[in-house]
Amino acid sequence: MKALILMAGRGLGGDAVVTLNVIRALEERGVQCELALDENSPGVLFKKKGYTWHKIKIPQAGGHAATKLSAMKAAFKMLTATFKVRRLIKKLDVDFIVGVIGGGAIVGSVGAKLSNTPAASVICTPLDSKVCSKFNPCFALPETSLFRQEVLPDNIQKTYFPINADVNEGNADVAFRKLKEEPLFDENKKTILFSSGSSIFKGIIDAANKFAEYANGEYNLLLIGLPLKEDYLDGLHNDIIYLGYVDWLKDLYAFLDLAVLTDDGLMVEESVACELPTVALTRVKWGRYHNMAGIFEGAVIESELDESNEKIMEALNNLDSLKEASKKYSSNLVHSKEILADKILEAVKK
């Protein structure tokens, strides 16, 4: 079988990881995958992993923070994009389409309908959830409100983020050796990671700075990612170790004592899969709230920014119970990639 996978955005963050893992899982099942990204996407992750892609216009769908106006503008751009996708589908002669999150999901879904090609959508935003479910089977990620519903329409299933099965097989010694190169690192202290994913949002810096001031050097405090704005790092507390973009995150997970993450799915899911105690900071990214602590009950402590110090200390005082609670989720999470691929193949063959 041959599939076309579509994704909007830069090809760098969580959406790219989801797309890459869908491709890899389908390839493991004998599917030949063609990838299409927006014509302006640098495709950093895919380039690093040796993938090439087709360049077409795939507009962003406005995301979780979409307003009515931004959604209308996105819809107009997508109307043109879907016809281009239709032409690409015909040119490649694929057996089915998988659209991944936001604009990728929507143009894939509508383009597949126009070309009479089977499709499946991985949905994560209000707009893709509304549009794609009208045309083809959909798989709702934990960030959607659909994931919390007891009863769903027949063509929508829940799915965890498709993470790598070996995410919990990192080497703590590798992380330890790298961290020892940092002058501030002290091997006798507990180590806490602050992260909002591949991009650093101001809220995560605010939380890290506030805790650094409170902790007064008692912990190793790490910050990873690339800042959304260059001046975000100007006021970084002197006790925080900034690591930039890391490609050894799996090893870091194995070494950490605690992760303080934003309340959006992929990294929280990876952290729980690694049985790593986690604090999820809410409303850091455009005011979004996903209640990841409700999905991974007992394994994740939820916190607003104004109470982050108290919640981080609560987590540090309950590391063992948080680890124990995560065990009931970790097995399903590390197999999420394979489970989603099987569901996609079953859906498009109907």
Q: List, in order of start, the domains of the chain with CATH numbers.
A: 2-165+335-348 (3.40.50.2000), 172-333 (3.40.50.2000)
The yes-or-no verdict on residue 69 having pLDDT over 70 is: no
Least reliable range by pLDDT among 58-62, 285-289, 334-338 = 58-62
pLDDT of residue 77: 65
Structural element, H or E, at residue 250: helix 249-255
Any idea of the CA torsion for 244, 250, 256, 259, to the nearest 10 degrees?
Answer: 70
In the predicted model, what is the mean pLDDT of residues 94-102?
A: 96
In the predicted model, what is the mean pLDDT of residues 305-320?
A: 98
> How would residue 73 be classed by pLDDT, with cut points 50, 70 and 90?
low
Question: Is the pLDDT higher at 75 or at 117?
Answer: 117
Alpha-carbon distance of 79 to 88, in angstroms, equals: 15
Among 232, 227, 219, 220, CA closest to 197: 227
In the predicted model, what is the mean pLDDT of residues 84-91?
A: 92
The yes-or-no verdict on residue 326 having pLDDT over 60 is: yes
Q: How far is CA 202 from CA 305, 321, 336, in A?
A: 11, 30, 31
Question: Is the pLDDT higher at 192 or at 150?
Answer: 192
> How would residue 64 be classed by pLDDT, with cut points 50, 70 and 90?
very low
pLDDT of residue 82: 84
Alpha-carbon distance of 7 to 216, in angstroms, equals: 43
The yes-or-no verdict on residue 297 having pLDDT over 80 is: yes
> How would residue 74 be classed by pLDDT, with cut points 50, 70 and 90?
low
DSSP one-letter code for 91: H
> How would residue 76 be classed by pLDDT, with cut points 50, 70 and 90?
low
Alpha-carbon distance of 162 to 17, in angstroms, equals: 8
Q: For 182-221, write each residue's pLDDT tens digit.
A: 999 999 999 999 999 988 999 999 999 999 999 999 999 9
Average pLDDT, the chain: 92
Among 258, 303, 292, 260, CA closest to 276: 258
> How would residue 65 be classed by pLDDT, with cut points 50, 70 and 90?
very low
The yes-or-no verdict on residue 342 having pLDDT over 80 is: yes
pLDDT of residue 166: 94
Looking at the DSSP assignment, which residues form a beta bridge with residue 300? Answer: 278
Least reliable range by pLDDT among 6-15, 203-212, 302-311 = 6-15
In the predicted model, what is the mean pLDDT of residues 318-337?
A: 96
